[in-house]
Amino acid sequence: MQTLTIVVPAYNEAHGLEAFHRRLSPVVAGLDLACSVLFVDDGSTDATWNRIRDLAARDPQVQGLRLSRNFGKEAALSAGIDHAESDAVVVIDADLQDPPERIPDLVAQWRAGYDVVYATRDAREGESPLKRLTAAAFYRMMERLSDTPLPRDTGDFRLLSRRAVHALRSLHERQRFMKGLFTWIGFRQTGIRYRRQARHQGRSKWSYWRLLNLAMEGITSFSVAPLRLATWIGLGSSLLAFAYGVWVFIKALIWGDPVRGYPTLVLVILFLGGVQLLALGVIGEYLGRMYAETKQRPLYFIEEHLGPTTRGPSDAVPQDLRSR
């Protein structure tokens, strides 16, 4: 029988996990696949890990992975994907915003020969108009800027075949924008549509500040357009400055050179200063990311692993890249 691992990143989801498991169980039972559910506790500060333990004690299909601290959803996903040894992997949120009932549809597309089956949302229930608007703007912008267009309105809810999983594991970058990476690996990809539901309980962990940073991550890891933009602005303002210089020179030849023009001088200095700082900032963004990459730090550390190969907390070894 073919195997499927369902990877569920969870950060402070203690109160929702039972309900999630209750809704997932019948779906899993209905699949003719050997399934396991791998919860990745992303350094929760509440009882999430205890809940995962309870579930694992009751249900042999449940496995758990506990990260040594909160590394963020992207790292939690990577941890889950790294530890899934199965023919296919499904990634799903723990807050029931992604309906588990659609997993069979993902599996059907996989059986039809697709390597990445993503789920595109029709509606975003329970999200404010502002969030919808900013999300829409982000996807449109990525479409324009990036060399690997993201499928619109698509979250992390998706199925990955074994070779897609192996491709993802071979990507060593530290600054991970998973949505982009899922698309970037290529292979045969297709989508299904679903209705995104309101969060079952608790609040979204993504403040606008975090979302803005994620968007920045997405743009800088998949596009050098901002760098190019800085070049174009620099070129444009140099041309303007040159034209203005010619004009000043001709003016001085014709009408002489009385000491005037202080306002224009200040204006030009301020404008160019601003452009230079902006360009420096853009370069800095990329430089900072290069710095983070060159440090080659592991993406996460495992504190505890509940599973078929249950290992104790003493195994909190660095996940060396070569051994992944």
Residues 86-105 touching Mg ion, rule: CB under 5 A, are 95, 97
Sign for the CA dihedral angle at 75, 82, 174, 319 comes to: positive
How is residue 45 annotated by DSSP? Answer: S
Asked if 12 touches Mg ion (CB under 5 A), the answer is: no
Task: Name which of 93 and 115 has its Cβ closer to ligand UDP.
Answer: 93
Q: What single string gives the DSSP state of each residue in 199-259?
A: PSSS--S--HHHHHHHHHHHHHHH--HHHHHHHHHHHHHHHHHHHHHHHHHHHHHHH---S
Asked if 94 touches ligand UDP (CB under 6 A), the answer is: yes
Q: Which helix (H) or strand (E) holds 270?
A: helix 262-295
Tokens of 279: 């360009």
In the chain, how long is the greatest CA-to-CA distance?
93
* The binder of ligand UDP chosen from 30, 111, 163, 206 (CB under 6 A): 206
How many chain residues interact with Mg ion (CB under 5 A)?
Answer: 2
Task: Name which of 127 and 217 has its Cβ closer to Mg ion.
Answer: 127
Q: How far is the CB of 146 from Mg ion (least distance, A)?
A: 24
> Which of 25, 198, 37 minimizes the C-alpha distance to 121?
198
CA distance 155 to 150: 10
Q: How far is the CB of 101 from Mg ion (least distance, A)?
A: 17
Q: How far is the CB of 240 from ligand UDP (least distance, A)?
A: 43
Order of strands, edge to edge, in the sheet holding 34-41? Answer: 189-196, 116-124, 154-161, 88-91, 3-10, 34-41, 62-67, 302-306
Tokens of 71: 């590394």
E strands in 162-301: 189-196
Task: Name which of 78 and 97 has its Cβ closer to Mg ion.
Answer: 97
Asked if 82 touches ligand UDP (CB under 6 A), the answer is: no
* The binder of ligand UDP chosen from 82, 93, 153, 304 (CB under 6 A): 93
Asked if 97 touches ligand UDP (CB under 6 A), the answer is: yes
Task: Name which of 61 and 97 has its Cβ closer to ligand UDP.
Answer: 97
CA distance 76 to 10: 8
Q: How far is the CB of 96 from Mg ion (least distance, A)?
A: 8
Q: Which stretch binds ligand UDP (CB under 6 A): 8-16, 107-115, 185-193, 248-256?
A: 8-16
The entry of ligand UDP, Mg ion, none that residue 16 binds, CB within 5 to 8 Å by partner kind = none
> Which of 111, 93, 94 minimizes the C-alpha distance to 32?
111
CA distance 129 to 148: 27
Task: Name which of 28 and 230 has its Cβ closer to ligand UDP.
Answer: 28
Task: Name which of 93 and 153 has its Cβ closer to ligand UDP.
Answer: 93
Asked if 11 touches ligand UDP (CB under 6 A), the answer is: yes
Task: Name which of 9 and 226 has its Cβ closer to Mg ion.
Answer: 9
Residues in contact with ligand UDP by CB under 6 A are: 9-11, 13, 42, 70, 72-73, 76, 93-95, 97, 204-206
Binding site for Mg ion (CB under 5 A): 95, 97
